[in-house]
């Protein structure tokens, strides 16, 4: 594969990365949020945090297999192998871009599913019960993106990476810049680890990485804080449609960021193989 095409895609990825950072540095506040603020119970954020935390635990412990059935793991892995072979043989930019096109197609479908699910729950006035479904669709989208670029998602290390990715996507200002930079440093120093690799984490990276349990807590905190008012509104029958639409917004936002980060990991490997 010609190095110049990899570098062209790398520059394009950096533009996409910067665009996301620029668009999300300042948190968006809507007028209706101020109007409902006084009605939001003090304990709601803590309740949401617990709901997100438990949902992550259940999905990681028991739900991954069910999600795999809906995302077609084996088919995705085979499709990746075909694209990877084509990229090696053709060695052109179009064969590299095929990975991103596949990832974008999956994002579109999952966003549509999230729209139906979120609005339906909103009509019924179900905010907190919507959380496990919301996370299942979100993780399905991220898993599919990971598979598209040839990465695993079911090890403790990969789950921690996914959780850090979600936390970063929900950040703003200097926090967003810092967390994005930390992920990039991890990608640069670590790269992808094959199942056959036995080298320890300490020899691969000296960057501090939280435990899976600690990261579940951090990501749950971020989700609870970001979705506080939206989940409150979603809990009101009929009116909750407005809150349900937030599922679509955040599904797309986090999936877009995930696609950029996995593309970076993929291209980082390609650049390393050329050096």
Tell whether the model's pLDDT for residue 119 goes beyond 50. Answer: no
In this structure, how many other beta carbons lie within 10 angstroms of the beta carbon of residue 91? 14
Does residue 237 form part of some domain? yes
Q: What pLDDT is recorded for position 72?
A: 79
Q: What pLDDT is recorded for position 201?
A: 41
Does residue 64 form part of some domain? yes
Domain count, the chain: 1
Q: What pLDDT is recorded for position 115?
A: 47
The chain-wide mean pLDDT, for the chain, equals 79
Q: Summarize pLDDT for 193-243 with one digit per residue, the tens.
A: 443 343 444 444 455 678 999 999 999 999 988 887 566 555 544 444 455
The stretch 93-121 carries a mean pLDDT of 68
Does residue 246 form part of some domain? yes
Does residue 210 form part of some domain? yes
pLDDT tier at 125, thresholds 50, 70, 90: very low
Q: Which of 39-43, 48-52, 240-244 has the highest mean pLDDT?
A: 48-52
Q: What pLDDT is recorded for position 151?
A: 95
Q: Choose between 228 and 265: higher pLDDT.
A: 265
The stretch 163-174 carries a mean pLDDT of 96
Lowest mean pLDDT: which of 84-93, 195-204, 218-227, 259-268?
195-204
Q: Is 167 exposed, middle or buried (0-12, 13-18, 19+ CB in 10 A)?
A: buried
Q: What pLDDT is recorded for position 262?
A: 97
The stretch 53-59 carries a mean pLDDT of 92
Does residue 196 form part of some domain? no
Q: What pLDDT is recorded for position 275?
A: 66
Q: What pLDDT is recorded for position 113?
A: 52
Instruction: Show the 3-state SS of the chain.
Output: CCHHHHHHHHHHHHHHHHHHHHHHCCCCCCHHHHHHHHHCCCCHHHHHHHHHHHHHHHHHHHHHHHHHHHHCHHHHHHHHHHHHHHHHHHCCHHHHHHHHHHHHHHHHHHHHHHHHHHHHHHHCCCCHHHHHHHHHHHHHHHHHHHHHCCCCCCCHHHHHHHHHHHHHHCCCHHHHHHHHHHHHHHHHHHCCCCCCCCCCHHHHCCCCCCCHHHHHHHHHHHHHHHHHHHHHHHCCCCCCHHHHHHHHHHHHHHHHHHHHHHHHHHHHHHHHHHC
Domain range enclosing 99: 3-191+201-270
Does residue 275 form part of some domain? no
Q: What pLDDT is recorded for position 128?
A: 57
Q: What pLDDT is recorded for position 245?
A: 59
In this structure, how many other beta carbons lie within 10 angstroms of the beta carbon of residue 100? 21
Q: What pLDDT is recorded for position 248?
A: 77
The stretch 76-92 carries a mean pLDDT of 88
Q: Alpha-carbon distance 129 to 113, whole Å?
A: 17
């Amino acid at each position: 594969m010609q190095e110049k095409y990899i570098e062209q895609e790398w520059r394009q990825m950096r533009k996409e990365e910067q665009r996301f950072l620029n668009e999300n540095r300042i948190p968006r506040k809507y007028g209706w949020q101020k109007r409902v603020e006084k009605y939001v119970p003090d304990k709601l954020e803590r309740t949401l945090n617990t709901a997100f935390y438990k949902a992550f635990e259940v999905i990681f412990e028991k739900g991954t297999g069910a999600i795999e059935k809906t995302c077609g793991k084996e088919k995705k892995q085979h499709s990746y192998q075909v694209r990877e072979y084509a990229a090696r043989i053709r060695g052109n930019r179009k064969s590299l871009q095929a990975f991103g096109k596949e990832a974008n197609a999956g994002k579109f479908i999952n966003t549509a599913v999230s729209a139906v699910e979120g609005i339906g729950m909103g009509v019924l006035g179900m905010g907190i019960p919507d959380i496990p479904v919301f996370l299942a669709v979100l993780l399905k989208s991220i898993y599919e993106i990971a598979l598209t670029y040839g990465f695993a998602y079911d090890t403790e290390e990969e789950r921690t990476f996914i959780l850090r990715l979600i936390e970063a996507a929900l950040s703003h200002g200097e926090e967003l810049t810092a967390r994005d930079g930390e992920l990039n440093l991890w990608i640069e120093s670590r790269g992808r680890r094959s199942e056959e690799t036995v080298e320890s984490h300490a020899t691969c990276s000296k960057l501090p990485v939280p435990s899976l349990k600690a990261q579940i807590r951090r990501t749950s905190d971020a989700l609870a804080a970001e979705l506080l008012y939206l989940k409150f509104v979603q809990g009101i029958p009929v009116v909750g449609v407005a809150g349900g639409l937030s599922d679509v917004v955040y599904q797309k936002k986090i999936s877009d960021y995930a696609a950029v980060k996995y593309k970076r990991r993929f291209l980082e490997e390609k650049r390393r193989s050329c050096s």
